[in-house]
Structure 1
């Protein structure tokens, strides 16, 4: 007569995963995914702000070079101390009669350089200098010294005094520094090395 094998003592019968354990596992996975997404979003936002910062730096350098070159090549200048948004900041007249004007756009995020032929109000060329955030722009003239300054806006939209910054319009703008640029140049500096025309005095 055969005897049945006795069950091994201490061995538990197999069982499935309970609903509570499954929910806990899903919650842990969701937490990891959410944390990873937030970290990735933060990294992407930091990269975007870094690109904007370096774009502003390159734009500022490009504007400074061009503005200084225009001042040095100009024969005459007509400027406003503080121009409303969208209006002309300054205009330079070249020896050949062409006019170069700088404008601050209405959204206050861009400086435009326009080239106009003599007697023609339609621009024959234009170059844009866009910035990531709004800024104030002021051009001042003291005899032959031309001064361009870009910086933070004050409450009235004009250039704010040092240390005074307009409240940001958006949270992203609060983390973004407005462009800061100061350019000084001597009017007609390049013309000193040109021979004077008949009947004209050397500048």
Structure 2
């Protein structure tokens, strides 16, 4: 009986081909896994940032004695808030950042920044139609003439954000002084 020793060239090619297919599928899955992890991390960072912004904005508006909008949406657009303790707070957009600046007469100014998604435009509004003044901060994508359809399609999904708060809510139970 003739015994075979070793492996043939055909067998070796089949093994190399099968292992290369397995490696390609594994590399593709690893790439997909890393991309989904990056997207999940970005979503978590944005969600945490949005929650922090909403809490800070509501606290500022509830403690405010007055709030005004200065400028038009664009370069010098800001929400100015005055507190009874002589603090001046302003919210303004600077590129991909929403900057909160708090100025108290006896202390150095305090800055806080909130990261915004790309191509987002901030809007401020004050509604005085009801019994209480309501301030809101909202955002949506800034679509201008230079934004192409391909850029719009490549954007990550973004839910519009709207934060509303009653101006001076923390002072509603204080007695009026004569």
TM-score by structure 1 length? Answer: 0.71
SS in structure 2 of the partner of residue 126 of structure 1:
strand
Contact 2:80 2:89 (8 Å CA) reproduced: yes
Greater gyration radius: 1
Q: Which runs of structure 2 are paired with 1:34-49 in the superposition (5 Å)?
A: 34-49=24-39
What value does the CA root-mean-square deviation take over the aligned residues?
Answer: 3.0
Looking at structure 2, the residues matched to 168 and 52 of structure 1 have their Cα atoms a distance apart, in angstroms, of 22
Number of residue pairs aligned between Structure 1 and Structure 2 = 174
| Shift, 1:35, TM fit | 0.5
1:89-122 CA-to-partner distances (Å, cap 9, x unmatched) read: 311111232211112121x3x32211123499xx
Any unmatched runs of 5+ in structure 1? 1-10, 158-164, 199-203
Contact 2:71 2:77 (8 Å CA) reproduced: no
Which residue of 1 is the match for residue 6 of structure 2? 16
Bigger strand fraction: 2
CA separation of 1:50 and 1:33: change in aligned 2, threshold 3 A: same
Contact 1:91 1:101 (8 Å CA) reproduced: yes
Which residue of 2 is the match for residue 93 of structure 1? 82
Which residue of 1 is the match for residue 125 of structure 2? 140
Any unmatched runs of 5+ in structure 2? none
Bigger helix fraction: 2
